[in-house]
Amino acid sequence: MLPILVFIDFYLIEILIWIIIASAILSWLIAFNVVNPYNQFVRSLWDLFHRITEPMLAPIRRLLPNMGGIDISPVILILVLYFIRVVVIRGWLIPLFA
């Protein structure tokens, strides 16, 4: 059980948090016309990030009220992932080492 918890904590959740941050930054770069969304590399990267993050962000967006174009769902998802990481997973790991 311990290797599975360590793998989820240090690899899956950490990589997912970085993908969410990269997706938010890429969406800002596209919105402000810093990068060309018609570039094949940018389009494929955006599609990859969108396919990974959208299944988790869509339920959060449905619950949030309309905030006038400001999307805070990535921040809420990162906070939920940190909660899972610190309280749930490390809550199981600490008694195993005590």
What residue spans define the domains of the chain?
2-62+72-93
Q: What is the mean pLDDT of the chain?
A: 90
Q: Rounded to the nearest 5°, which phi and psi values hold at 39? A: -70, 135
Give pLDDT tens digits for 68-77: 888 999 999 9
Prediction pTM value? 0.87
Give pLDDT tens digits for 35-75: 999 999 999 999 999 999 999 999 999 999 988 888 999 99
> Could you please report the per-residue DSSP string of 5-57?
HHHIIIIIIHHHHHHHHHHHHHHHHHHTTSS-TTSHHHHHHHHHHHHHHHHHH
8 A C-beta contact, residue 89 and residue 35: no
The letter for the amino acid at 66 is N
Check residue 10 and give its pLDDT.
81
